[in-house]
Structure 1
Amino acid sequence: MSRHVSTLLLIAPAFLAAGLASCAPTASHEASSATSSPRQCFYSRQVTSFRGDDQTLYVRTQNRDVFELQALGYCNDLDFSLTIAFLPGVMDRLCAGDTTRIVASGGPAPQTPCRVRVIKKLTDAEIVALPDRNRP
C-alpha cells in the first residue's frame, strides 16, 4: 500500500504542473490581443445614406465608411423608405455589437420603430462586392 501512495505522490506534481500550464497565456493569444483592431464605431448623426432590405441595412457615414446593420425582428419597408432616423437613446456613438432603434419613413407602411444591431464596418472589398441595390 505504501508503494501506491509513493507512486501517487510522484505523479500528482506532474498533473498539477500540466494543469497550471494550461491556464497560462500562450504566445499566440498575446500576439492576437496586441494586433486586435480598434472598435468599429460611427456616430448616428453622421450617416449620409443608407440602403438595404427588411433584414439588412447598410449605412454610409461622412467619412465614407459603410456599416452593416441587421434587423432584430421584422423592419417595415426599409427597402422602400426614403429616410431613416435613429431614435434618441443613451448613446449617439454606435459600435459593432451595439443595438439601437430606428424608424424608416416614406414607404407604404406606417412608421414603426425597429431594433437593429451593428454587425461590422465593411472593408473596401466588401463594399465593392455589394449589389448596386444594397450599396449606399
Structure 2
Amino acid sequence: MTPHALLLATAALIALAAGPAGAAPAAKPAKACFSARNVSNYAVVDDRTLNIRVGGRDVYQLDLMGVCPDLPSQNRIAIKSRGASFICSPLDATIIAGGPFGRTERCEVRGLRKLTPEEIAALPSRDRP
C-alpha cells in the first residue's frame, strides 16, 4: 500500500470512528430529582411497587428492595429522604408504612424511575396516583 493510500485509509477509519459529521455526542438523560415535600399522591401497585405523583404532572415509580406487606392496606404513607432534601436515587428514599398494632414498617427503595407521559397515560386507573 502506498503512503498516500495508507493515509486515506487511516483518515477514513478515523472518520467512521468519530460518527456522522456534525453529530453531537449522545447526551445522558438528565437525573430526575424531587423533594419528598412535593409528593401529592400515590398508588400502590403491589407490595413491591409504588407510583407517586410529584407536583401536578410528574409520576415516579419506586421499586422496593423486598416485600412491604403492609403497604397495600395503608391509607397514608411517608417518604423519608436521607441526607439531602432531594431524592435523586433509590438510596435517598425510604417508604414508611404503618403496620399492625401501631408498629411502623420501613421499606427500602431499590429502583426509582420517572415515567414518561406515554407511560403515565398507559397506567391502569388503579395504578395512577
- Asked if 1:31 is matched to 2:22, the reply is no
Cα shift readout 1:7-41 (whole Å, capped 9, x = no counterpart): xxxxxxxxxx9xxx7xxx744795213xx332111
The corresponding residue for 2:82 is: 89
Does structure 1 conserve the Cα–Cα contact (< 8 Å) formed by 2:42 and 2:52? yes
CA RMSD across the alignment:
3.0
* 1:11 alignment counterpart: none
Name the TM-score, length of structure 2 as normaliser.
0.72
Q: Deviations over 1:106-127 (max 9, x none)?
A: x657421110134211111101
Structure 2 unaligned regions, length at least 5: 1-9
Number of residue pairs aligned between Structure 1 and Structure 2: 116
Aligned to 2:126: 133
Partner of 2:97: 104
Structure 1: unaligned runs, 5 residues or longer: 1-16
1:88 deviation in Å? Answer: 4.8
Structure index of larger Rg: 1
Q: Distance in 1 between matches of 2:119 and 2:49?
A: 14
Instruction: Using the TM superposition, give the Cα deviation of residue 102 of structure 1 relative to its aligned residue in structure 2, in angstroms.
Output: 1.4
Residue identity (%): 35
